[in-house]
Amino acid sequence: MKKALVMLATAVAMSGAFAQTPAPASAPVSAASAPAGKAGHERNVEDRIAYLHSQLKITSAQESQWNTFADVMRSNGQTMGQLFQQRRAATNVSALDDMKQYATIAQAHADGMKKLVDAFDPLYNSFSPEQKKLADVTFHQPGGVEGHGHHGKGKGKGGKSAPAPASDATVKP
């Protein structure tokens, strides 16, 4: 059970699906510009959003769709952050309660990924052929949907490694 939870936590963390507060819609937020009080995973999500914005070469015409996608990442992050915080705070839980918490987290992750896909669809469809290739390499997931290799750490098409984001090593799309 613990191994499965660690795998889920890693998958959720790497999904880019969570943060705590929205960044200004006008510009991505980097770790350097994030307020010092932000949680580590929140900075990581903002870093991931900034990385993807740059990596995918989002144009000014795509900003509205991009902001919708980024807001879903932040909302999912807030949900997942709260669920993991509740899980950490729970003490002396029974095996049944542990499984229920795990199921709640897994369901929230699945629901969040659906929202993320729904937000990404119109953005992806607005991409130029070059941007689509960049997205395909950036989001390539060697292990399928649950592989979450879309951090640029997996192999892209043709076996080439995509560049890794600046600070994607901890809790994180």
Parse the chain into domains and list their residue ranges.
2-159
Percent of the chain residues topping a pLDDT of 70: 57
DSSP 84-131: HHHHHH--S--HHHHHHHHHHHHHHHHHHHHHHHHHHHHHHHHS-HHH
Amino acid at 74: R
Please tell me the predicted confidence (pLDDT) of residue 65: 97
Please tell me the predicted confidence (pLDDT) of residue 90: 87
Tokens for 154, please give them.
């997996």
Up-side HSE of residue 102: CA atoms within 13 Å toward CB?
A: 15
> Computed from CA positions of residues 121, 45, 144, 134, in that sequence, does the dihedral angle turn out positive or negative?
positive
Please tell me the predicted confidence (pLDDT) of residue 39: 61
**Residues in the chain, pLDDT under 50:** 3-37, 143-173
Cα-based angle 151, 156, 162 (whole degrees, multiple of 5): 50
From residue 159, alpha-carbon distances to 33, 83, 153, 155 in Å are: 35, 36, 12, 5
